[in-house]
Protein backbone atom coordinates (compact mmCIF):
# COMPACT_ATOMS: atom_id res chain seq x y z
CA UNK A 1 0.00 0.00 0.00
CA UNK A 2 1.25 3.46 -0.88
CA UNK A 3 2.03 5.96 1.82
CA UNK A 4 1.74 9.72 1.96
CA UNK A 5 2.38 11.93 4.92
CA UNK A 6 1.99 15.50 6.05
CA UNK A 7 5.09 16.26 3.93
CA UNK A 8 2.78 16.05 0.91
CA UNK A 9 0.93 19.17 2.06
CA UNK A 10 0.95 22.43 0.16
CA UNK A 11 2.63 25.52 1.56
CA UNK A 12 -0.54 27.13 2.99
CA UNK A 13 -1.48 23.94 4.83
CA UNK A 14 2.05 23.59 6.20
CA UNK A 15 1.95 27.23 7.30
CA UNK A 16 -1.32 26.66 9.09
CA UNK A 17 0.21 23.76 11.05
CA UNK A 18 3.37 25.81 11.69
CA UNK A 19 1.28 28.47 13.44
CA UNK A 20 1.50 26.06 16.34
CA UNK A 21 -0.87 24.24 18.68
CA UNK A 22 -4.53 25.05 18.14
CA UNK A 23 -6.32 27.40 20.46
CA UNK A 24 -9.97 28.24 21.06
CA UNK A 25 -11.51 31.15 19.20
CA UNK A 26 -13.59 32.98 21.81
CA UNK A 27 -14.94 36.50 21.54
CA UNK A 28 -12.59 37.17 18.62
CA UNK A 29 -9.49 36.15 20.61
CA UNK A 30 -7.30 33.08 20.24
CA UNK A 31 -7.03 31.62 23.72
CA UNK A 32 -5.67 28.58 25.53
CA UNK A 33 -7.78 26.53 27.92
CA UNK A 34 -8.12 28.03 31.39
CA UNK A 35 -6.37 24.98 32.83
CA UNK A 36 -3.86 24.76 29.97
CA UNK A 37 -4.90 21.23 28.94
CA UNK A 38 -4.24 20.04 25.38
CA UNK A 39 -5.00 16.97 23.25
CA UNK A 40 -3.42 15.49 20.14
CA UNK A 41 -5.14 15.15 16.81
CA UNK A 42 -4.02 12.02 14.97
CA UNK A 43 -3.37 11.28 11.29
CA UNK A 44 -5.50 8.16 10.72
CA UNK A 45 -3.28 7.06 7.83
CA UNK A 46 -0.27 6.66 10.15
CA UNK A 47 -1.57 6.72 13.71
CA UNK A 48 0.81 9.58 14.44
CA UNK A 49 0.03 12.94 16.02
CA UNK A 50 -0.37 15.88 13.64
CA UNK A 51 -0.51 18.66 16.21
CA UNK A 52 -1.93 19.61 19.57
CA UNK A 53 -5.14 21.47 20.30
CA UNK A 54 -6.53 23.20 23.37
CA UNK A 55 -8.89 20.93 25.34
CA UNK A 56 -11.83 23.00 26.53
CA UNK A 57 -13.29 22.58 30.01
CA UNK A 58 -16.32 24.07 31.80
CA UNK A 59 -14.59 27.40 32.38
CA UNK A 60 -13.79 27.78 28.67
CA UNK A 61 -17.33 26.74 27.73
CA UNK A 62 -18.72 29.41 30.08
CA UNK A 63 -16.40 32.02 28.62
CA UNK A 64 -17.40 31.11 25.05
CA UNK A 65 -21.12 31.19 25.87
CA UNK A 66 -20.69 34.60 27.55
CA UNK A 67 -18.95 35.90 24.40
CA UNK A 68 -21.78 34.55 22.24
CA UNK A 69 -24.35 36.20 24.51
CA UNK A 70 -22.53 39.52 24.32
CA UNK A 71 -22.43 39.41 20.51
CA UNK A 72 -26.11 38.39 20.37
CA UNK A 73 -27.15 41.34 22.51
CA UNK A 74 -24.59 43.65 20.94
CA UNK A 75 -22.94 43.92 17.58
CA UNK A 76 -24.33 40.86 15.81
CA UNK A 77 -27.83 41.49 17.12
CA UNK A 78 -27.62 44.97 15.61
CA UNK A 79 -26.34 43.74 12.23
CA UNK A 80 -29.00 44.12 9.53
CA UNK A 81 -30.23 41.12 7.55
CA UNK A 82 -28.65 42.51 4.40
CA UNK A 83 -25.31 42.95 6.14
CA UNK A 84 -25.55 39.40 7.52
CA UNK A 85 -26.27 38.16 4.02
CA UNK A 86 -23.14 39.89 2.72
CA UNK A 87 -20.98 38.41 5.48
CA UNK A 88 -22.26 34.88 4.84
CA UNK A 89 -21.47 35.32 1.15
CA UNK A 90 -18.03 36.69 2.02
CA UNK A 91 -17.35 33.63 4.17
CA UNK A 92 -18.35 31.40 1.25
CA UNK A 93 -15.91 33.26 -0.99
CA UNK A 94 -13.11 32.98 1.61
CA UNK A 95 -13.66 29.24 1.89
CA UNK A 96 -13.64 28.92 -1.89
CA UNK A 97 -10.40 30.90 -2.11
CA UNK A 98 -8.81 28.48 0.38
CA UNK A 99 -10.48 25.33 -0.93
CA UNK A 100 -7.25 23.43 -1.59
CA UNK A 101 -5.79 24.11 1.83
CA UNK A 102 -9.00 23.29 3.69
CA UNK A 103 -9.35 20.05 1.74
CA UNK A 104 -5.79 19.03 2.57
CA UNK A 105 -6.28 19.69 6.27
CA UNK A 106 -9.52 17.72 6.16
CA UNK A 107 -7.92 14.82 4.31
CA UNK A 108 -4.96 14.75 6.71
CA UNK A 109 -7.12 14.92 9.84
CA UNK A 110 -9.99 12.64 8.77
CA UNK A 111 -8.26 10.33 6.29
CA UNK A 112 -10.69 10.89 3.40
CA UNK A 113 -9.34 11.02 -0.16
CA UNK A 114 -8.35 14.55 -1.14
CA UNK A 115 -10.77 14.66 -4.09
CA UNK A 116 -13.71 13.89 -1.79
CA UNK A 117 -12.46 16.45 0.73
CA UNK A 118 -12.51 19.04 -2.07
CA UNK A 119 -16.10 18.02 -2.79
CA UNK A 120 -16.98 18.60 0.87
CA UNK A 121 -15.46 22.09 0.82
CA UNK A 122 -17.30 22.95 -2.41
CA UNK A 123 -20.55 21.75 -0.80
CA UNK A 124 -19.83 24.00 2.19
CA UNK A 125 -19.51 26.97 -0.19
CA UNK A 126 -22.89 26.20 -1.82
CA UNK A 127 -24.48 25.75 1.57
CA UNK A 128 -23.37 29.20 2.72
CA UNK A 129 -24.46 30.84 -0.52
CA UNK A 130 -27.93 29.34 -0.19
CA UNK A 131 -28.20 30.67 3.37
CA UNK A 132 -26.87 34.11 2.38
CA UNK A 133 -30.10 34.42 0.40
CA UNK A 134 -32.29 33.50 3.37
CA UNK A 135 -30.96 36.19 5.74
CA UNK A 136 -33.14 38.82 4.05
CA UNK A 137 -36.21 36.60 3.63
CA UNK A 138 -37.25 35.67 7.14
CA UNK A 139 -40.86 36.83 7.30
CA UNK A 140 -43.82 36.52 9.61
CA UNK A 141 -47.47 36.40 8.56
CA UNK A 142 -50.60 38.36 9.24
CA UNK A 143 -53.23 36.17 10.88
CA UNK A 144 -56.93 36.57 10.06
CA UNK A 145 -59.07 36.87 13.22
CA UNK A 146 -62.84 36.36 13.25
CA UNK A 147 -63.28 39.11 15.85
CA UNK A 148 -63.40 42.62 14.36
CA UNK A 149 -60.69 45.23 14.71
CA UNK A 150 -57.83 42.89 15.49
CA UNK A 151 -54.40 43.07 13.96
CA UNK A 152 -52.55 39.83 14.55
CA UNK A 153 -49.23 38.91 13.09
CA UNK A 154 -46.26 36.66 13.67
CA UNK A 155 -42.60 37.59 13.96
CA UNK A 156 -39.71 35.20 13.62
CA UNK A 157 -36.94 36.05 16.06
CA UNK A 158 -33.53 34.41 16.49
CA UNK A 159 -33.57 31.82 19.26
CA UNK A 160 -30.36 33.21 20.78
CA UNK A 161 -27.12 31.55 21.83
CA UNK A 162 -26.53 28.12 20.31
CA UNK A 163 -24.24 25.24 21.26
CA UNK A 164 -23.40 23.21 18.17
CA UNK A 165 -21.56 19.92 18.33
CA UNK A 166 -20.31 18.29 15.18
CA UNK A 167 -18.81 14.88 14.34
CA UNK A 168 -15.66 13.82 12.54
CA UNK A 169 -17.00 12.26 9.33
CA UNK A 170 -17.56 15.53 7.40
CA UNK A 171 -15.90 17.97 9.80
CA UNK A 172 -16.01 21.20 7.79
CA UNK A 173 -19.28 20.51 5.98
CA UNK A 174 -21.09 19.62 9.21
CA UNK A 175 -19.71 22.77 10.85
CA UNK A 176 -21.11 24.80 7.96
CA UNK A 177 -24.49 23.01 8.09
CA UNK A 178 -24.59 24.22 11.68
CA UNK A 179 -23.21 27.75 11.22
CA UNK A 180 -25.10 28.82 8.10
CA UNK A 181 -28.60 28.94 9.68
CA UNK A 182 -27.13 30.60 12.79
CA UNK A 183 -25.71 33.41 10.68
CA UNK A 184 -28.81 33.70 8.48
CA UNK A 185 -31.20 34.00 11.43
CA UNK A 186 -29.07 36.30 13.59
CA UNK A 187 -28.25 33.79 16.32
CA UNK A 188 -24.76 33.38 17.77
CA UNK A 189 -22.97 30.14 18.53
CA UNK A 190 -20.28 28.13 20.21
CA UNK A 191 -19.23 25.40 17.81
CA UNK A 192 -17.41 22.33 19.06
CA UNK A 193 -15.64 20.22 16.45
CA UNK A 194 -14.95 16.55 17.12
CA UNK A 195 -11.72 15.68 18.94
CA UNK A 196 -10.66 13.42 16.05
CA UNK A 197 -10.85 16.24 13.48
CA UNK A 198 -10.42 19.76 14.89
CA UNK A 199 -8.20 21.24 12.18
CA UNK A 200 -10.63 22.49 9.53
CA UNK A 201 -12.79 24.26 12.14
CA UNK A 202 -9.70 26.05 13.46
CA UNK A 203 -8.86 27.22 9.94
CA UNK A 204 -12.52 28.18 9.43
CA UNK A 205 -12.36 30.36 12.56
CA UNK A 206 -9.44 32.25 11.00
CA UNK A 207 -11.56 32.90 7.90
CA UNK A 208 -14.52 34.00 10.03
CA UNK A 209 -12.23 36.53 11.69
CA UNK A 210 -10.77 37.59 8.33
CA UNK A 211 -14.10 38.37 6.65
CA UNK A 212 -15.16 40.57 9.56
CA UNK A 213 -18.00 38.66 11.19
CA UNK A 214 -18.22 40.46 14.56
CA UNK A 215 -16.28 38.98 17.48
CA UNK A 216 -18.28 36.53 19.56
CA UNK A 217 -20.79 35.69 16.81
CA UNK A 218 -19.07 32.36 16.12
CA UNK A 219 -16.85 30.91 18.82
CA UNK A 220 -14.95 27.68 18.25
CA UNK A 221 -14.23 25.60 21.31
CA UNK A 222 -12.03 22.59 20.68
CA UNK A 223 -12.16 19.51 22.84
CA UNK A 224 -13.72 16.10 23.42
CA UNK A 225 -17.02 14.67 24.61
CA UNK A 226 -16.58 16.16 28.09
CA UNK A 227 -16.05 19.58 26.47
CA UNK A 228 -19.29 19.05 24.53
CA UNK A 229 -21.14 18.03 27.70
CA UNK A 230 -19.81 21.10 29.53
CA UNK A 231 -21.04 23.27 26.68
CA UNK A 232 -24.53 21.72 26.60
CA UNK A 233 -24.71 22.18 30.37
CA UNK A 234 -24.19 25.95 30.23
CA UNK A 235 -27.36 27.58 31.56
CA UNK A 236 -27.16 30.48 29.12
CA UNK A 237 -27.37 28.26 26.03
CA UNK A 238 -30.78 28.62 24.34
CA UNK A 239 -30.49 25.94 21.69
CA UNK A 240 -28.39 22.84 21.11
CA UNK A 241 -27.72 21.27 17.73
CA UNK A 242 -25.92 17.95 17.67
CA UNK A 243 -24.78 15.49 15.03
CA UNK A 244 -23.26 12.23 16.20
CA UNK A 245 -24.09 8.94 17.86
CA UNK A 246 -27.59 8.03 18.96
CA UNK A 247 -26.29 7.25 22.46
CA UNK A 248 -24.90 10.76 22.96
CA UNK A 249 -27.96 12.23 21.21
CA UNK A 250 -30.25 10.60 23.78
CA UNK A 251 -28.10 12.03 26.59
CA UNK A 252 -28.15 15.54 25.12
CA UNK A 253 -31.89 15.33 24.38
CA UNK A 254 -32.58 14.35 28.00
CA UNK A 255 -30.48 17.23 29.33
CA UNK A 256 -32.18 19.72 27.03
CA UNK A 257 -35.58 18.32 27.98
CA UNK A 258 -34.93 18.97 31.67
CA UNK A 259 -33.98 22.58 30.99
CA UNK A 260 -36.34 23.02 28.02
CA UNK A 261 -33.55 24.13 25.75
CA UNK A 262 -34.39 23.91 22.08
CA UNK A 263 -32.67 20.91 20.54
CA UNK A 264 -32.14 19.30 17.16
CA UNK A 265 -30.42 15.94 16.81
CA UNK A 266 -29.02 14.28 13.72
CA UNK A 267 -28.06 10.75 14.73
CA UNK A 268 -27.29 7.28 13.48
CA UNK A 269 -28.86 4.99 10.94
CA UNK A 270 -29.01 1.50 9.49
CA UNK A 271 -30.51 2.53 6.23
CA UNK A 272 -32.17 0.04 3.88
CA UNK A 273 -31.27 0.14 0.21
CA UNK A 274 -33.72 -1.84 -1.92
CA UNK A 275 -33.05 -3.17 -5.41
CA UNK A 276 -36.34 -4.06 -7.14
CA UNK A 277 -36.38 -6.84 -9.77
CA UNK A 278 -36.77 -4.40 -12.69
CA UNK A 279 -33.85 -2.17 -11.70
CA UNK A 280 -31.06 -1.18 -14.06
CA UNK A 281 -28.64 -3.57 -12.38
CA UNK A 282 -25.46 -1.88 -13.50
CA UNK A 283 -26.66 1.42 -12.06
CA UNK A 284 -27.94 -0.29 -8.91
CA UNK A 285 -24.65 -2.09 -8.26
CA UNK A 286 -22.59 1.06 -8.78
CA UNK A 287 -24.96 3.15 -6.68
CA UNK A 288 -25.22 0.59 -3.91
CA UNK A 289 -21.44 0.39 -3.74
CA UNK A 290 -21.19 4.17 -3.29
CA UNK A 291 -24.14 4.14 -0.87
CA UNK A 292 -22.04 2.24 1.63
CA UNK A 293 -18.34 2.57 0.86
CA UNK A 294 -18.34 6.35 0.26
CA UNK A 295 -16.28 8.02 3.01
CA UNK A 296 -15.20 4.51 4.12
CA UNK A 297 -18.74 3.84 5.29
CA UNK A 298 -18.55 6.62 7.86
CA UNK A 299 -21.76 8.32 6.83
CA UNK A 300 -24.89 8.66 8.95
CA UNK A 301 -27.10 7.87 5.95
CA UNK A 302 -24.96 5.03 4.59
CA UNK A 303 -27.00 2.39 2.76
CA UNK A 304 -25.80 -0.38 5.05
CA UNK A 305 -28.58 -2.96 4.60
CA UNK A 306 -28.81 -3.92 0.96
CA UNK A 307 -32.02 -5.78 0.06
CA UNK A 308 -31.86 -7.50 -3.30
CA UNK A 309 -34.65 -9.53 -4.93
CA UNK A 310 -33.69 -13.21 -4.70
CA UNK A 311 -33.84 -13.59 -8.51
CA UNK A 312 -30.92 -11.15 -8.85
CA UNK A 313 -29.22 -11.55 -5.52
CA UNK A 314 -26.19 -13.55 -6.73
CA UNK A 315 -25.50 -11.20 -9.62
CA UNK A 316 -25.66 -8.08 -7.44
CA UNK A 317 -23.57 -9.60 -4.66
CA UNK A 318 -20.87 -10.76 -7.04
CA UNK A 319 -20.80 -7.33 -8.76
CA UNK A 320 -20.35 -5.63 -5.42
CA UNK A 321 -17.73 -8.12 -4.23
CA UNK A 322 -15.74 -7.50 -7.38
CA UNK A 323 -15.86 -3.71 -6.88
CA UNK A 324 -14.94 -4.03 -3.20
CA UNK A 325 -11.94 -6.25 -3.97
CA UNK A 326 -10.72 -3.82 -6.64
CA UNK A 327 -10.92 -0.68 -4.47
CA UNK A 328 -7.63 1.06 -3.78
CA UNK A 329 -7.31 1.53 -0.03
CA UNK A 330 -4.74 4.08 1.14
CA UNK A 331 -3.99 7.42 2.77
CA UNK A 332 -6.30 10.27 1.84
CA UNK A 333 -3.43 12.41 0.58
CA UNK A 334 -2.36 9.75 -1.95
CA UNK A 335 -4.01 10.68 -5.28
CA UNK A 336 -4.51 6.96 -6.11
CA UNK A 337 -6.63 6.34 -3.03
CA UNK A 338 -10.31 5.48 -3.40
CA UNK A 339 -10.97 4.40 0.18
CA UNK A 340 -9.22 6.09 3.11
CA UNK A 341 -8.70 4.72 6.60
CA UNK A 342 -11.36 4.92 9.29
CA UNK A 343 -10.92 7.94 11.52
CA UNK A 344 -9.40 6.53 14.72
CA UNK A 345 -8.01 3.52 16.54
CA UNK A 346 -11.29 3.38 18.46
CA UNK A 347 -13.37 3.23 15.26
CA UNK A 348 -10.97 0.65 13.78
CA UNK A 349 -11.45 -1.57 16.79
CA UNK A 350 -15.23 -1.08 16.67
CA UNK A 351 -15.47 -1.92 12.97
CA UNK A 352 -13.20 -4.98 13.29
CA UNK A 353 -15.35 -6.07 16.24
CA UNK A 354 -18.43 -5.98 14.03
CA UNK A 355 -16.68 -7.99 11.33
CA UNK A 356 -15.75 -10.62 13.93
CA UNK A 357 -19.36 -10.64 15.20
CA UNK A 358 -20.65 -11.20 11.65
CA UNK A 359 -18.34 -14.19 11.22
CA UNK A 360 -19.16 -15.62 14.65
CA UNK A 361 -22.88 -15.34 13.92
CA UNK A 362 -22.39 -17.35 10.73
CA UNK A 363 -22.61 -14.69 8.03
CA UNK A 364 -20.48 -15.33 4.96
CA UNK A 365 -17.64 -12.97 4.05
CA UNK A 366 -17.64 -12.47 0.30
CA UNK A 367 -15.14 -9.59 0.24
CA UNK A 368 -12.63 -8.08 2.63
CA UNK A 369 -12.90 -8.70 6.34
CA UNK A 370 -9.37 -7.78 7.29
CA UNK A 371 -6.84 -5.05 7.75
CA UNK A 372 -4.85 -4.59 4.53
CA UNK A 373 -1.16 -5.49 4.38
CA UNK A 374 1.13 -2.53 4.83
CA UNK A 375 -1.24 -0.60 7.09
CA UNK A 376 1.79 0.56 9.09
CA UNK A 377 -0.13 1.87 12.06
CA UNK A 378 -2.85 3.44 9.91
CA UNK A 379 -6.49 2.59 10.63
CA UNK A 380 -7.27 0.83 7.36
CA UNK A 381 -10.05 -1.69 6.85
CA UNK A 382 -10.67 -3.70 3.68
CA UNK A 383 -14.00 -2.94 2.03
CA UNK A 384 -16.07 -5.78 3.42
CA UNK A 385 -19.22 -7.48 2.19
CA UNK A 386 -21.32 -9.99 4.10
CA UNK A 387 -23.82 -12.34 2.50
CA UNK A 388 -25.86 -15.08 4.18
CA UNK A 389 -26.73 -12.90 7.17
CA UNK A 390 -30.15 -12.81 8.84
CA UNK A 391 -32.02 -9.65 9.82
CA UNK A 392 -31.44 -10.51 13.47
CA UNK A 393 -27.65 -10.58 13.33
CA UNK A 394 -25.71 -7.74 14.94
CA UNK A 395 -24.15 -6.76 11.58
CA UNK A 396 -27.64 -6.36 10.11
CA UNK A 397 -29.10 -4.42 13.05
CA UNK A 398 -26.43 -2.10 14.48
CA UNK A 399 -24.78 0.91 12.91
CA UNK A 400 -21.22 -0.15 12.04
CA UNK A 401 -19.99 3.17 10.60
CA UNK A 402 -17.26 1.53 8.58
CA UNK A 403 -16.81 -0.12 5.16
CA UNK A 404 -19.00 -3.12 5.94
CA UNK A 405 -22.04 -3.88 3.79
CA UNK A 406 -24.63 -6.55 4.54
CA UNK A 407 -26.61 -7.96 1.58
CA UNK A 408 -29.97 -9.61 2.28
CA UNK A 409 -32.29 -11.35 -0.22
CA UNK A 410 -36.08 -10.75 -0.28
CA UNK A 411 -39.06 -11.96 -2.32
CA UNK A 412 -41.85 -9.40 -2.37
CA UNK A 413 -42.55 -5.72 -1.90
CA UNK A 414 -44.67 -5.87 1.28
CA UNK A 415 -42.10 -8.16 2.85
CA UNK A 416 -39.14 -5.95 2.03
CA UNK A 417 -40.90 -2.79 3.25
CA UNK A 418 -41.66 -4.43 6.59
CA UNK A 419 -38.09 -5.68 6.96
CA UNK A 420 -36.66 -2.32 5.90
CA UNK A 421 -38.72 -0.60 8.62
CA UNK A 422 -37.85 -3.16 11.29
CA UNK A 423 -35.13 -1.01 12.88
CA UNK A 424 -34.95 1.61 15.60
CA UNK A 425 -33.54 4.01 13.00
CA UNK A 426 -35.16 5.94 10.16
CA UNK A 427 -32.67 8.21 8.45
CA UNK A 428 -32.55 7.22 4.79
CA UNK A 429 -33.75 4.58 2.36
CA UNK A 430 -33.02 3.80 -1.27
CA UNK A 431 -35.01 2.26 -4.12
CA UNK A 432 -33.64 1.10 -7.47
CA UNK A 433 -36.24 0.44 -10.15
CA UNK A 434 -37.47 1.40 -13.62
CA UNK A 435 -41.06 1.30 -12.37
CA UNK A 436 -41.60 4.80 -10.98
CA UNK A 437 -45.11 4.13 -9.80
CA UNK A 438 -43.85 1.25 -7.67
CA UNK A 439 -40.98 3.46 -6.47
CA UNK A 440 -43.27 6.20 -5.20
CA UNK A 441 -45.60 3.65 -3.62
CA UNK A 442 -42.66 2.12 -1.75
CA UNK A 443 -41.31 5.59 -0.84
CA UNK A 444 -44.58 6.18 0.99
CA UNK A 445 -44.22 2.92 2.92
CA UNK A 446 -40.68 3.46 4.20
CA UNK A 447 -40.00 5.10 7.56
CA UNK A 448 -37.11 7.36 6.63
CA UNK A 449 -36.34 11.06 6.63
CA UNK A 450 -35.10 10.85 3.06
CA UNK A 451 -35.82 8.34 0.29
CA UNK A 452 -33.51 8.14 -2.71
CA UNK A 453 -34.86 6.77 -5.99
CA UNK A 454 -32.26 5.58 -8.51
CA UNK A 455 -29.50 7.39 -6.62
CA UNK A 456 -28.08 7.30 -3.16
CA UNK A 457 -27.16 10.34 -1.12
CA UNK A 458 -28.02 13.19 -3.46
CA UNK A 459 -28.71 16.40 -1.61
CA UNK A 460 -28.91 20.12 -1.99
CA UNK A 461 -28.74 23.01 0.48
CA UNK A 462 -32.46 23.45 -0.28
CA UNK A 463 -33.48 19.83 0.49
CA UNK A 464 -34.29 18.98 4.12
CA UNK A 465 -32.30 16.25 5.85
CA UNK A 466 -32.92 14.45 9.12
CA UNK A 467 -34.34 11.33 10.66
CA UNK A 468 -37.45 9.49 11.77
CA UNK A 469 -37.38 7.50 15.02
CA UNK A 470 -33.97 7.13 16.74
CA UNK A 471 -32.21 8.83 13.82
CA UNK A 472 -32.99 12.22 15.27
CA UNK A 473 -35.26 15.16 15.91
CA UNK A 474 -35.71 18.04 13.49
CA UNK A 475 -34.39 18.75 10.02
CA UNK A 476 -31.36 20.59 8.68
CA UNK A 477 -31.12 22.38 5.31
CA UNK A 478 -33.87 24.04 3.34
CA UNK A 479 -36.17 26.68 4.79
CA UNK A 480 -37.39 24.22 7.43
CA UNK A 481 -33.81 24.05 8.72
CA UNK A 482 -34.00 27.75 9.60
CA UNK A 483 -37.07 27.25 11.79
CA UNK A 484 -34.94 25.42 14.36
CA UNK A 485 -33.10 28.71 14.92
CA UNK A 486 -36.20 30.91 15.13
CA UNK A 487 -38.76 31.55 17.84
CA UNK A 488 -42.22 32.37 16.59
CA UNK A 489 -43.94 35.28 18.33
CA UNK A 490 -47.62 36.09 17.79
CA UNK A 491 -48.59 39.71 18.31
CA UNK A 492 -52.29 40.43 18.80
CA UNK A 493 -53.55 44.01 18.84
CA UNK A 494 -57.13 45.11 19.56
CA UNK A 495 -57.56 48.16 17.40
P1 LIG B 1 -19.98 10.79 19.50
O2 LIG B 1 -21.45 10.94 19.38
O3 LIG B 1 -19.42 10.42 20.82
O4 LIG B 1 -19.26 12.15 19.02
C5 LIG B 1 -19.81 13.14 18.18
C6 LIG B 1 -19.53 14.52 18.76
O7 LIG B 1 -20.14 14.63 20.04
C8 LIG B 1 -18.06 14.83 18.99
O9 LIG B 1 -17.85 16.21 18.77
C10 LIG B 1 -17.88 14.52 20.47
O11 LIG B 1 -16.81 15.22 21.07
C12 LIG B 1 -19.19 14.99 21.03
N13 LIG B 1 -19.60 14.35 22.28
C14 LIG B 1 -19.30 13.10 22.73
N15 LIG B 1 -19.90 12.87 23.91
C16 LIG B 1 -20.60 13.99 24.23
C17 LIG B 1 -21.44 14.36 25.33
N18 LIG B 1 -21.69 13.53 26.34
N19 LIG B 1 -21.99 15.60 25.32
C20 LIG B 1 -21.79 16.46 24.29
N21 LIG B 1 -20.99 16.16 23.25
C22 LIG B 1 -20.41 14.94 23.20
O23 LIG B 1 -19.53 9.75 18.41
P24 LIG B 1 -18.16 8.89 18.37
O25 LIG B 1 -17.91 8.32 19.73
O26 LIG B 1 -17.11 9.70 17.77
O27 LIG B 1 -18.57 7.73 17.38
C28 LIG B 1 -19.33 6.61 17.86
C29 LIG B 1 -20.36 6.18 16.88
O30 LIG B 1 -21.29 7.23 16.69
C31 LIG B 1 -19.87 5.88 15.49
O32 LIG B 1 -19.38 4.58 15.38
C33 LIG B 1 -21.12 6.08 14.69
O34 LIG B 1 -21.91 4.93 14.77
C35 LIG B 1 -21.82 7.21 15.39
N36 LIG B 1 -21.59 8.51 14.74
C37 LIG B 1 -22.58 9.03 13.95
C38 LIG B 1 -22.37 10.20 13.26
C39 LIG B 1 -23.41 10.78 12.38
O40 LIG B 1 -23.08 11.46 11.41
N41 LIG B 1 -24.67 10.61 12.67
C42 LIG B 1 -21.08 10.91 13.32
C43 LIG B 1 -20.13 10.33 14.24
C44 LIG B 1 -20.40 9.17 14.89
MG1 LIG C 1 -18.13 8.94 21.76
Ligand 1 contacts CB of residue 474 (under 6 A): no
Return mean pLDDT, the chain.
Answer: 97
Closest CA to 240 of 304, 300, 192: 192
Say yes or no to pLDDT of 217 above 80: yes
Say yes or no to pLDDT of 5 above 70: no
> How far from 274 is each of 231, 288, 431, CA to CA, in Å?
40, 9, 5
Q: What is the atom index within ligand 1 of the atom nearest the CA of 223?
A: 11
Mean pLDDT along residues 182-202: 98
Mean pLDDT along residues 378-396: 98
Say yes or no to pLDDT of 248 above 50: yes
The radius of gyration of the chain's CA atoms, rounded to the nearest angstrom, is 23
Say yes or no to pLDDT of 7 above 90: no
CA of 311 to the centre of ligand 1 (A): 39
- Do 355 and 384 touch, CB atoms closer than 8 A? yes
Say yes or no to pLDDT of 23 above 90: yes
Query: What phi, psi does 487 have (nearest 5°)?
Result: -95, 145
Say yes or no to pLDDT of 449 above 90: yes
Closest CA to 403 of 316, 313, 307, 323: 323
What is the best residue among 170, 229, 248, 300 to mutate for testing ligand 1's pocket, by most ligand atoms within 8 Å of CB? 248
The DSSP letter of residue 475 is -
Question: What count of residues does the chain have?
Answer: 495
Catalytic residues: 266, 300
In tens, the pLDDT along 319-366 reads 999 999 999 999 999 999 999 999 999 999 999 999 999 999 999 999
Ligand minimally distant from the alpha carbon of residue 304 = 1
- Do 381 and 44 touch, CB atoms closer than 8 A? no
Q: What is the atom index within ligand 1 of the atom nearest the CA of 229?
A: 19
Rounded Cα gap, residues 24 and 31, in angstroms? 5
Q: Is the pTM of this model over 0.75?
A: yes
pLDDT at residue number 8 = 83
Question: What one-character-per-residue DSSP string does 139-205 give?
Answer: ---EE--SSSSEEEEEEEEE--EEEEE--SSSHHHHHHHHHHHHHHHT-EEEEE--TT--HHHHHHH
pLDDT at residue number 6 = 62
Q: What is the atom index within ligand 1 of the atom nearest the CA of 402?
A: 32
Percent of the chain past pLDDT 90, that is, above it, reads 98
In tens, the pLDDT along 284-313 reads 999 999 999 999 999 999 999 999 999 999
The DSSP letter of residue 130 is H
- For ligand 1, atom 14, the nearest C-alpha belongs to 225
CA of 9 to the centre of ligand 2 (A): 29
CA of 245 to the centre of ligand 1 (A): 4
pLDDT at residue number 2 = 47
Amino acid sequence: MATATADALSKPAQEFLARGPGRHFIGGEWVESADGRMFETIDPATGEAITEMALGGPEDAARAVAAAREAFEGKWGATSPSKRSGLIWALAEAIKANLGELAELESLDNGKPLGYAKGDVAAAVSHLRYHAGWATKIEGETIPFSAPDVLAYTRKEPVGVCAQIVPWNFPLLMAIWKLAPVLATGCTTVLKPAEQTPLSAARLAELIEEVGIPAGTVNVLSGDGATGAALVGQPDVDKVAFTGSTAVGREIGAKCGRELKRVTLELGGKSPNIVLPDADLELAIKGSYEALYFNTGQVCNAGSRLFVHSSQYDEVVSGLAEAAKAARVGPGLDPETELGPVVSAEQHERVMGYIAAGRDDGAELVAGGGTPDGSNGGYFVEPTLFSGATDEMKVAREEIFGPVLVALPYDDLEEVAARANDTEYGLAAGIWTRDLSKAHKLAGMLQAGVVYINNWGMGDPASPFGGFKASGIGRERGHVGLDAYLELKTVIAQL
